[in-house]
Amino acid sequence: MDQDGTAGGLRRKSGARPSGDDAVLNDLTQKRIGLHLRTMYDAVVQQPIPDRFRDLIARLDTADPEPSD
């Protein structure tokens, strides 16, 4: 149980088992998920661009633009 007496960070809108829209994440759980997602995103952004992508971008930049109608 969490601090607020919920199991796994879920609040129940009714006495029944949560399913679909009945399951709501509490604020602490949402903040923790957000923090982990930001950490993962930052790690991905710090990765170097692969050489094949860099080469492709360079080729696209130097390619002749298609004539417009």
- Domain enclosing residue 33, as ranges: 1-13+25-62
Asked if the structure places residue 52 within a domain, the reply is yes
6 Cβ partners below 8 Å, 6+ apart?
12, 26
Confidence band, pLDDT 50/70/90 cuts, at residue 63: confident
Structurally, the chain folds into a number of domains equal to: 1
In a domain, 35, yes or no: yes
Per-residue pLDDT at 68 exceeds 90: no
pLDDT tens column, 32-46:
999 999 999 999 999
Distance CA(9)–CA(6), nearest Å, equals 6
Asked, for residue 37, whether it belongs to a domain, the answer is: yes
For the segment 1-32, what is each residue's pLDDT rounded down to a tens digit? 555 555 555 555 555 555 556 578 899 999 99
Asked if residue 67 belongs to a domain, the reply is no
The burial class, CB within 10 Å (0-12 / 13-18 / 19+), for 26 is: middle
50 has pLDDT over 80? yes
